[in-house]
């Protein structure tokens, strides 16, 4: 009988919810044919000086938004339908991260103007640059997904397909040119995120094909990327934002690269009371296999993650990430991480802990999660629309 790791939040009213490393599926609108982000490459590194110079300013401001609060103005160019899509995008961040988009007030000097611009598909300033800045969508891209992408730029996320190591994961060998590589702000995860809302679609020279060196050649054609793979923020998008903004409470869990585990991190690695047959504690890890992010048991001596993929065992030796819960399983704010029987999981989307997205056309909008089993096992479990 499998169990899922879950967390429980107890409000001051003494009411409680059980929360799990499990899956909740929500259907969103499919993106149209147009999906091009016109945010300049030089901005994607979070270089505020370049962005300010573009509007004639020299002063450099703070990069991230204090306390995760972003003030916004809805521009008069938005229709009611546009506003509805923007609000859906806000809700995607509100449900999955500690970020709060709040209406601009007269005393606010720093804010994002949400606008329609039919000269672009999507465009945004990257990070908090001080004063007014923009997040725009236009053409056939006036939808929730495009606005999620642009607002993620606002929060300091760059493009996944332009990260420095992307040639290990995307194949441009038959192309005459390919997108420039850009060094983004520090990210907690080294796992490549094909499902990122910050990734372009795959399938052409300007977008890249998944690298057959990382994915079995027979599977490459079934792999989908970016907005095709995820209805909103991907699992790793959420992890990156929660890391950048040090989100707490029921978003305080962190997946830490095994190569950078500190002594302090070891004290934060939960076992939920599970051991191997040799009485060694079982720590949850996640790694990439066939482009999918899956969970397994961490072997610290080898810095590897032992996974089961379609009932076959694999040892992944990098990159590997280990689950940590700063503050312990019982937080100061009464947010409790715990195990519950899988069949008793309450599927409340706001309180779920995800491991990774499954980026296959066969399993669109599926995610994986951690499951513990009697007998000392730990495996990846899946759920989706089917």
**CA angle (85 as vertex; 80, 91 as ends), nearest 5:** 125
Per-residue model confidence (pLDDT) at position 170: 87
Give all domains of the chain, ordered by start, each with its CATH number.
2-23+242-383 (no CATH), 41-154 (3.40.390.10)
CB 288 within 8 A of CB 296: no
pLDDT at 201: 87
Dihedral over alpha carbons 114, 118, 122, 123 (to 10 degrees):
-70
3-state secondary structure of 4: strand
Whether 153 has a binding-site annotation, put simply, is: yes
Q: Is the peptide bond before 145 cis (omega within 30 degrees of 0)?
A: no
Whole-number pLDDT of residue 63:
87
Q: What is the pLDDT of residue 180?
A: 84
Which whole-number Å values give the CA distances from 384 to 165, 345, 362, in the listed order? Answer: 30, 15, 10
> Mean pLDDT by 10-residue block, N- to C-terminus, for the chain (386 residues)?
49 32 27 51 53 43 85 98 99 96 96 97 94 96 97 94 87 78 71 92 74 59 82 93 92 92 94 85 90 89 90 90 91 76 54 75 73 58 45
**Is 199 a known ligand-binding residue?**
no
Q: Where are the alpha helices (DSSP H) in 3-157?
A: 48-54, 80-96, 144-154
Angle between the N-to-C axes of helices 144-154 and 80-96, in degrees from 0 to 180, rounded to the nearest 10: 60
The pLDDT assigned to 40 comes to 57
The tokens for 84 are 């509805």
Please tell me the predicted confidence (pLDDT) of residue 93: 98
Look up tokens 């007014």; give the residue: 132
């Amino acid at each position: 009988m499998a169990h899922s790791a879950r967390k429980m939040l107890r409000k001051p009213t003494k009411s409680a919810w059980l929360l799990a490393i499990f899956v909740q599926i929500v259907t969103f609108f499919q993106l149209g044919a147009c999906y091009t982000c016109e945010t300049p490459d030089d901005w994607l590194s979070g270089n505020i000086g370049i962005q300010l110079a573009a509007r004639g300013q020299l002063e450099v401001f703070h990069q991230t938004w204090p306390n995760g609060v972003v003030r916004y103005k809805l521009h008069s160019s938005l229709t009611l339908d546009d506003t509805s899509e923007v609000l859906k995008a806000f809700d995607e961040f509100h449900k999955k991260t500690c970020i709060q988009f709040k209406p601009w007030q007269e005393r606010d000097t720093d804010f994002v103007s949400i606008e329609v611009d039919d000269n672009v598909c999507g465009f945004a300033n990257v990070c908090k640059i001080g004063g007014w800045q923009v997040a725009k969508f236009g053409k056939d891209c006036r939808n929730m997904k495009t606005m999620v992408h642009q607002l993620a730029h606002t929060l300091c996320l760059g493009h996944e397909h332009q990260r420095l190591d992307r040639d290990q994961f995307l194949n441009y060998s038959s192309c005459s040119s390919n997108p420039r590589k850009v060094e983004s702000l520090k990210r907690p995860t080294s796992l490549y995120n094909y499902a990122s809302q910050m990734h372009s679609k795959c399938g052409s020279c300007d977008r890249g094909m998944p690298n057959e060196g990382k994915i079995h050649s027979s599977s490459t054609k079934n792999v989908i990327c970016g907005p095709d793979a995820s209805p909103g923020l991907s699992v790793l998008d959420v992890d990156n934002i929660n890391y950048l903004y040090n989100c707490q409470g029921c978003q305080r869990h962190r997946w830490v690269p095994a190569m950078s585990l500190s002594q302090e991190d070891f004290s934060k690695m939960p076992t939920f009371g599970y051991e191997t047959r040799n009485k060694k504690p079982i720590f949850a890890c996640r790694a990439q296999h066939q482009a999918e992010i899956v969970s397994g048991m961490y072997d610290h001596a080898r810095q590897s993650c032992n996974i089961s993929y379609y009932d076959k065992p694999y040892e992944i030796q990098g990159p590997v990430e280990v689950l940590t819960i700063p503050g312990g399983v019982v937080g100061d704010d009464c947010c409790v991480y715990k195990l519950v029987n899988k069949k008793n999981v309450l599927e409340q989307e706001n309180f779920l802990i995800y491991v990774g997205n499954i980026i296959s056309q066969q399993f669109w909008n599926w995610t994986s999660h951690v499951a513990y089993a009697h007998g000392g096992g730990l495996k990846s479990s899946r759920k989706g629309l089917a």
